């Protein structure tokens, strides 16, 4: 009776395990070279999953797939617009005064243009920072997955499987 309970537990565990794990190991091809049946294969996969997780500290079902910076902070946006407006106002005042026009009108037009371009520049820089962060996170996830896959493959190969 005890072996029947163990068998049921393994079947249930492999079902739960397979639902979260199949995506994590989807890039590996596993071939049983010693005639292991499907039940033995599932047991070996689960045992190797646990072994690789324990030895690497990486659980492939928990590797974050989120891109991270979901909150787009606009801190600094106001100051970028203000700096652009001040610079534009000064430039506009100088150009307006030198060209014989109104320094006040030149400052107003310059402030408007400078503020607009300051905000655009800030938005582009923010977007570039977010792209860099997303690339770094993707590289980290890939490195973790590769480390885990090497350990998982080593375990399966030790149990008589070819893993590619």
Q: What is the pLDDT of residues 62-110, one digit of tens each?
A: 886 544 444 444 455 667 667 766 666 666 655 655 555 666 766 676 6
Using CB atoms within 10 A of its CB, is residue 75 exposed (0-12), middle (13-18) or buried (19+)?
exposed
Residues pairing with 163 in the sheet: 30
Give the position of tokens 């998982």.
152
88 neighbors 112 (Cβ within 8 angstroms): yes
At residue 1, does pLDDT exceed 60? no
Question: What is the number of domains present in the chain?
Answer: 2
Based on the fold, state whether residues 52 and 85 are members of the same structural domain: no
**125 within some domain:** yes
Residue 70 located in a structural domain: no
59 and 85 fall within a common domain: no
Same domain, 18 and 59: yes
pLDDT for 79 equals 72
Whether residue 13 is found in the same domain as residue 53:
yes
For residues 17 and 49, give the distance between their C-alpha atoms in angstroms, rounded to a whole number: 9
In a domain, 132, yes or no: yes
Kindly report the backbone phi and psi dihedral angles of residue 75, in degrees, each rounded to the nearest multiple of 5, phi listed first.
-65, 135
Domain with 137, as residue range(s), is 77-141
Give the pLDDT of residue 123: 86
Say if 13 falls within a structural domain. yes
Question: Which of 127, 117, 55, 64 has the alpha carbon at shortest distance from 92?
Answer: 117
| Range with lowest mean pLDDT among 51-55, 94-98, 149-153 | 94-98
Based on the fold, state whether residues 91 and 137 are members of the same structural domain.
yes
Query: Which one has a higher pLDDT value, 1 or 124?
Result: 124
Instruction: Clarify whether residues 48 and 85 are in a common domain.
Output: no
Residue 133 backbone class (left: φ over 0; alpha: ψ -120 to 50; beta: rest): alpha
Q: Is residue 74 within 8 Å of 63, Cβ to Cβ?
A: no
**pLDDT of 71:** 47
Higher-confidence residue of 12 and 130: namely 130
- 61/81 same-domain check: no
- Residue 147 resides in a domain: no
Question: Residue 148 domain-assigned?
Answer: no
Please report which confidence band the pLDDT of residue 20 belongs to, taking 50, 70 and 90 as the band edges.
very low
My answer on whether 81 and 58 are in the same domain is no
- Domain annotation covers residue 72: no
Whether residue 47 is contained in a domain is answered as yes
Are residues 47 and 99 located together in one domain of the fold? no
């Amino acid at each position: 009776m005890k072996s029947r309970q163990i068998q049921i537990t393994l079947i249930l565990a492999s079902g739960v395990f397979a639902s979260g794990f199949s995506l994590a190991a989807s890039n590996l091809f596993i071939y049983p070279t010693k005639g292991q049946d499907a039940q033995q294969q599932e047991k070996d996969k689960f045992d190797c999953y646990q072994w690789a997780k324990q030895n690497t500290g990486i659980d492939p079902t928990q590797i974050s797939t989120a891109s991270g910076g979901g909150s787009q902070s606009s801190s600094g946006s106001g100051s970028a617009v203000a700096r652009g407006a001040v610079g534009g106002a000064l430039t506009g005042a100088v150009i307006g005064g030198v060209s014989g026009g109104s320094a006040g009108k030149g400052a107003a037009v310059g402030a408007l243009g400078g503020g607009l371009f300051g905000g655009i520049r800030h938005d582009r820089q923010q977007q570039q920072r977010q792209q860099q962060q997303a690339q770094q996170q993707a590289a980290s996830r890939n490195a973790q997955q590769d480390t885990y896959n090497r350990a998982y493959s080593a375990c399966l190969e030790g149990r008589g499987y070819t893993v590619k």
